C-alpha cells in the first residue's frame, strides 16, 4: 500500500508526500497512523500550546484522536489542498469498537508519478473565523480556487 509514495520537501508547506509511481482513482494509498488518544487527553497535552497552524492530530471519531506526533507515519506529511487529489476515509469497526476505527488516505482521481498527494483537512473551529484565525490556518496550496484558509466554511 505505501510502496508508491515518498516523503520529501514540498512547495506547499514543509514536508509533503509524492507519488513515486502512478496511483489509480479509488486506490487506498496509506493508513494514517499514530497514537490513539482521547479528546480530553489531547486537550490536556496540547491545550496550553499556542496554535501555529500546523497539526498532526486527526479526529478519528467522537471518542478518539490519532496523534501522529507520536508513532506517526508518512501520512502525517500529506498537505492540505482546496482542490485535493485524495480524501481521508474513516473505516469504522464492524463490532462498534470505536478504538479499532482506522483512517485511510485514498485517491479521488488518477495521480501521476511525481505529483504531490493532498487532501482537504476539513478543519472546523467553534470560535469565529477571525482574520487572525484565517492567517493562522492559512492555505498555501496554490490551487486556482484556493480559499486562502484550511478552515471549513461556517454552516
DSSP secondary-structure letter at 135? H
Domains in the chain (CATH in brackets) are 23-110+117-122 (2.170.270.10)
Nearest to 52 by CA among 28, 69, 71: 69
Residue-wise pLDDT for 34-88, tens only, equals: 999 998 998 888 876 666 656 788 999 999 999 999 999 999 999 999 999 999 9
**3-state percent helix, strand, coil for the chain, nearest multiple of 5:** 15, 30, 55
Q: Which residues pair with 28 in a beta bridge?
A: 106
Does the pLDDT of residue 24 top 80, yes or no? yes
Please say if the pLDDT value at position 122 is more than 90.
no
Query: 30 — phi, psi (to 5°)?
Result: -160, 150
The per-residue pLDDT for 51 is 67
User: pLDDT averaged over the chain?
Assistant: 91
Q: Is 53 left (phi over 0), alpha (psi -120 to 50) or beta?
A: left
Closest listed residue to residue 1, CA positions, set 42, 30, 43, 37: 30
To the question of pTM greater than 0.75 for the whole model, the response is yes
β-strand 86-91 against 102-107: which pairing, if any? Answer: antiparallel
Amino acid at each position: 500500500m505505501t510502496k508508491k509514495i515518498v516523503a520529501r520537501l514540498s512547495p506547499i508547506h514543509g514536508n509533503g508526500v509524492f507519488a513515486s509511481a502512478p496511483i489509480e482513482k479509488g486506490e487506498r494509498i496509506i493508513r494514517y497512523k499514530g497514537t490513539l488518544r482521547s479528546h480530553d487527553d489531547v486537550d490536556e497535552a496540547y491545550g496550553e500550546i499556542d496554535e501555529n497552524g500546523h497539526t498532526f492530530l486527526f479526529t478519528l471519531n467522537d471518542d478518539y484522536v490519532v496523534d501522529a506526533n507520536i508513532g506517526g507515519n508518512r501520512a502525517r506529511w500529506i498537505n492540505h489542498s482546496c482542490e485535493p487529489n485524495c480524501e481521508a476515509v474513516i473505516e469504522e469497526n464492524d463490532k462498534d469498537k470505536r478504538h479499532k476505527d482506522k483512517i485511510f488516505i485514498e485517491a479521488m482521481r488518477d495521480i501521476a508519478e511525481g505529483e504531490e498527494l493532498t487532501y482537504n483537512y476539513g478543519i472546523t473551529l467553534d470560535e469565529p473565523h477571525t482574520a487572525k484565525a484565517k492567517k493562522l490556518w492559512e492555505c498555501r496550496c496554490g490551487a486556482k480556487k484556493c480559499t486562502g484558509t484550511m478552515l471549513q466554511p461556517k454552516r
